[in-house]
Structure 1
Amino acid sequence: MKSFLLVALTIGCLLGVGDTAGSASADDSEEITTPPAGTAASTSSPIATTATSTGLTCGTQLKNIYYHGFNLQTSTVSDAAACCDLCAAYDGCVVYTYFHSSSTGQSLCYLKDGSGEKTNYADSSSVTAVSAFMVSATSAPTPSTTSTPAATTATPSACSE
């Protein structure tokens, strides 16, 4: 236990725990807002980043669900899987909505940095909507057993300032 406390104290000194210089105050909070209605969406290609650099992958698909607002990018795609791939590669994308209208034949992918009001299209015969939130691409670590280290005696020292 003493070793753990010594290590924690040393790490705290190295990281400057308790140092308030450069810390943000509660007044520095950022408000997230929905873009105003009628804002033109960009249809250019998303910024190229790899899915591994974002560390995210598509979660469970929510069929018939469309989330409004928070659009980062709008692209024409062939299906929901292509929309998922775009979101996984787009830095800042946390949810996507794929929207297909059989009356217009248009299939659009909305990459989003948040989710607004939800519309359920379960009763629609002319619209297909699929949404999914991004989740961490890293798998959970496999549990392993480790031996308990031998107890050592150490004298704590004050952080040098």
Structure 2
Amino acid sequence: MKSVDLFLPDEEAARLFGGRFGLCLRPGMTVLLEGPVGAGKSHLARAAIRAMAGAEIDVPSPTFTLVQSYETEAGEVWHADLYRLSHIGEVEELGLAEAIGRDILLIEWPDRLGHYAPDEAIRVTLSYEGEGRRLLVSGPEGFLACLAGAP
């Protein structure tokens, strides 16, 4: 897998990037969003979902519901926050194990996925850098080319 290193200087840049990111996602893709609390995982997922489903859609954080799903033109999109998972069996109980490889999944705190984390997943690691965010994105070459705007 290839990777790209990006710097997003502010919230608007993160929103625009998230929109482009969402438009590059296809059914069967799983995105693993890693980073400390407040680094922008939910913000990125929200922008991606809005790009796929329509800017006016309400996209609440799944912090308490654990999973939210959305019907989009690109297919079904699952947004999961696994921070509060207490055991690996909950991955199956939530339906995530079945959705991996079929739908589009955006998963925060993917370390809780254990053996369910697909090897071919797109990984996004967010970190603080001054007022902005540093992103390391790794994934298939075709996905990264889409992010870069290549045809």
What TM-score do the two structures reach when normalised by structure 1? Answer: 0.23
Q: Which has the larger radius of gyration?
A: 1
Q: Which has the higher contact order (CA 8 A, sep 6+)?
A: 2
Structure having the higher helix fraction is: 2
Structure having the higher strand fraction is: 2
